[in-house]
Chain A
Amino acid sequence: MTEPWQWNVTEAARQIAAKRIASREYVHALLARIAHHEPRLQAWAQLAGDAAEAEASNCDADTMRGVSRGPLHGVAIAIKDILDVAGMPTRVGSDLTDCRSATSDAEVVRKLRASGAIILGKTAMTAFAAMDPAPTRNPWNGDHTPGGSSSGSAAAVAAQMCAASLGTQTAGSVLRPAAYCGIVGLKPTYDAVSRKGLTPCAWSMDHIGVMARDVADVEFLFGILADAATPLKNDGNAAPVIGIAQSHFDATDPDVAESFKRVVDTLSGAGATVVPVRLPDGFEALAATGIVTMYAEMAASHRDLFARRRDEYPPRLHVLVEAGLAVSASDYIHAQRVRHRASQAFKLARQCHRAADADNGRACACGPRQHGRLALQYSIQRFRPSGDHAAMRDVERRSADRRAGSGGAHP
């Protein structure tokens, strides 16, 4: 007999629909789980316990009348605190934001509610989805970061505080924490999911993603959130073809490389065709446009607030906004021209390789660093370490060493 907090989304929905458990009882079990682990994990920015239990009771009343609200009837979901949830403030991981409650739901939250979901609360995140770490700890080892920026969304799912959560990704903020916490993350194609009600980080790179403990849940939730029919499965029953850009793994940590090899062997053994792919010329330029675009757009988002309250900004974001403000208009525009051309070259290369199911099997090249060392993963992932980057990692390491000390919290 499994505990309710162990169920994935589809199992919870099935149990509630079959009246084997009331939604209120299910939500109550999750809240008890949260109360037990939250002091160590700090995965939540705001809990909506009372509202969730009240809504669960309403769901149960509907159930008794034979009414189903939808495929997520009575199932509790967590929302990253960068998305608007009516009645709760959107703090974006910072005290600099407005304390007033949002008056309406983000589009993705609206869709979840329309499908019967209950919003359990809002999860902790790095400040403004940038580099200053959240207080959240990795459920598998409290000395290590859960990754960011969707830190709480990943940790809450991994610690079985909820079956699924929403995160957002501008660079790697869904895939990286999902990998670090041992869950499944999906960063959909740009524009596949509405960003209405999302506080922008870098608007042309922001995505809303799904985090859960298995692939079936992620696919299920994406089907609810996607604006248009965007099938995740390939056509028919053909075995997937998975491309591996081996050159991109040169700087991978040995334990991550070994783990990745096991995954590839498992997939290959299950029938997938694994082929090597060569990243097209200009891929590094494409990655470079990502950094310039992200910093510049982030600075544009922060310009007014930064002008008024720059002294209150957390240190890493402070530096990044200044760097973004220093990017000239001509450099930003040139970066977009390069970005589009390099993207086209990348798509063409993918078509040539026919690596339709995975263009890059890696979520991140390094395991979860000690808490506070996530800040430079973006650059570390994409660039060979130079002297400057090594110096930046050293800063992160020493900063993390000072903060280390919380105990582990195995889920």
Chain B
Amino acid sequence: MTGDEPTRRPHDMTPEEIARYRAGVNALVATCLEQIRAYPIGNDADPQRERSSP
């Protein structure tokens, strides 16, 4: 290691594994969106509460 070599890693998944991974991620996002949409958000829109950063 000379210090200037980029770190390399194998692309280590088969196409079938990637397809299953994608299905899992998409299911996870769908579950999350469902939970978010079910959250009682109310009708108020105070700008101080609508900022996007925490």
Contact = CB atoms under 8 A, between A and B. Distances in A.
Contacts of A3: none
Interface residues of A, number: 72
A395 B27 CA distance: 15
Interface string B13-51: 100011011111111110111011111010000000111
B37 A334 contact: yes
Of all A-B residue pairs in the complex, the 7 with the closest CB atoms, nearest first, are A392-B24, A288-B32, A47-B3, A388-B27, A288-B35, A285-B39, A336-B52
Nearest to B9: A135
6 contacts: A95-B8, A292-B33, A319-B25, A322-B22, A340-B54, A392-B25
Contacts of A391: 20, 23-24
Given A288-B36, A292-B36, A379-B28, A340 B3 contact: no
B21 A291 contact: no
A169 interface: no
Given A336-B52, A340-B49, A395 B24 contact: yes
A315 B11 contact: yes
B41 A132 contact: no
Interface string A95-119: 1000100000000000000000000
A288 B31 contact: yes
A337 B17 CA distance: 35
B29 A315 contact: no
Interface residues on B, range: 35 or more
B21 A395 contact: yes
Contact of A38 (B1, B8, B26): B1
A289 B32 CA distance: 7
A291 B29 contact: yes
A398 B41 CA distance: 41
A207 to B, nearest CB: 10
Interface of B: 1, 3-13, 17-18, 20-29, 31-33, 35-39, 41, 49-54
Given A45-B7, A315-B13, A391-B20, A337 B50 contact: yes
Contacts, number: 147
Contacts of A388: 23-24, 27-28
A204 B53 contact: yes
A134 B6 CA distance: 12
B7 A91 contact: yes
A262 interface: no
Given A288-B35, A335-B36, A395 B17 contact: yes
Given A340-B50, A343-B54, A402-B12, A323 B23 contact: no
Contact of B24 (A326, A341, A344, A389): A389
Contacts of B9: 93, 127, 132-135, 314
A207 B11 CA distance: 27
Contacts of A395: 13, 17, 20-21, 24
A383 interface: yes
Nearest to B5: A46
Contacts of B18: 315, 318-319
B20 A392 contact: yes
Given A124-B7, A135-B9, A291-B29, A392 B21 contact: yes
Given A95-B8, A399-B17, A327 B39 contact: no
A389 B22 contact: no
A154 B3 CA distance: 19
B42 to A, nearest CB: 8
A323 B4 contact: no
B54 A339 contact: yes
